[in-house]
Amino acid sequence: MTGAPQPPGLLAAEAAHAQGPTLTVRQIFWRRFFRHRLAVCSLLFLILLALASAAAPLVEALLGVDGNQVDLFNAKQPPSAAHPLGTDELGRDLLVRLLYGGQVSLVVGLAAALCAAVIGTLFGLAAGYYGGRLDALLMRFTDLMMAFPALLLAIVLAAIFTPSLWIVALVIAMVNWVQVARVIYTETISLSERDFVEAERSLGASRLRILVQHIAPHLVSTMVVWATLGIATTVLLEATLSFLGIGVQPPTPSWGNIIFENQTYFTTAPWLVFIPGAAILLLALSFNVVGDALRDILDPKQKGRT
């Protein structure tokens, strides 16, 4: 369809083709991404963290320790060759527990952000395109969900269900989808009024065909950006729930419950709180930086906006 708008990447590819050697959309994307040096460093950190967390059993074997084995004689030991990050209040190796906790944070963060993006996209698409009573029903429900503080609602839901890794991910998704729904809703209304959609309607295309083949593909970049930015929120919310004792339950290590278990030793063994706190900070910050870079690349109109 000649009237259909093209993604910014395709426009850039056409411009590059007119000026010189042809560049694919993928090449243009990575060229733009590598201009964001902080985003590149953040992505490398996330990759290294994911690899290190996946290799937690190997690290455990190399150090000759058991992350769940209690050794009160070596409790609260400072970093050493035997324990690179020291030991916690029960004598367990902090490095091993942090790596296992990284698995929890990454799995919960990715699963919750993906689930929230899917739910929010479905709500926003249906309400924005079909309109009428469906629009009023879905958007009023979205407004109702936004009226509740996210943390308070997550605490209530987590208290109702038996806490587990996947239940925590689902609870976080249930309180984080509303922002995605609002953004998708607004963009769907805008796209529904574009000329290429009107042309499809005049040719007799069904609503479902227009929605799936002509509107949804233009929302992929928005979904990717919001899902990436949402991971930082889900990581922080998971750590908060675990710190409050209603998230991932011990003995499964989580960065939130590691801080909770060692908070009373903040003055005598500060590394037990500072190190997992720094891990949460760096993980959330890295996802935010990568998300901002993706927004600048995939949606140049939003560049420089908050």
Question: Domain-by-domain residue ranges, the chain?
Answer: 24-302
Name which of 241, 128, 259 is nearest 187 in CA terms: 128
Given a cut of 90, whether residue 32 has pLDDT beyond it is: no
pLDDT tens track for 187-212: 888 888 888 888 878 887 777 888 88
Residue 53 confidence (pLDDT) = 92
Q: How far apart are CA 185 and CA 225, in angstroms?
A: 15
CATH class of 24-302: mainly alpha
Residue type, 143: D
Share of the chain above pLDDT 70, in %: 90
Q: How far apart are CA 43 and CA 54, in angstroms?
A: 16
Give the phi and the psi of residue 267 in degrees, each rounded to 5: -85, -30
pTM greater than 0.85: no
- Cβ–Cβ contacts within 10 Å for residue 17, how many? 11
Given a cut of 80, whether residue 278 has pLDDT beyond it is: yes
The chain-wide mean pLDDT, for the chain, equals 82
Residue 22 confidence (pLDDT) = 67
Given a cut of 80, whether residue 118 has pLDDT beyond it is: yes
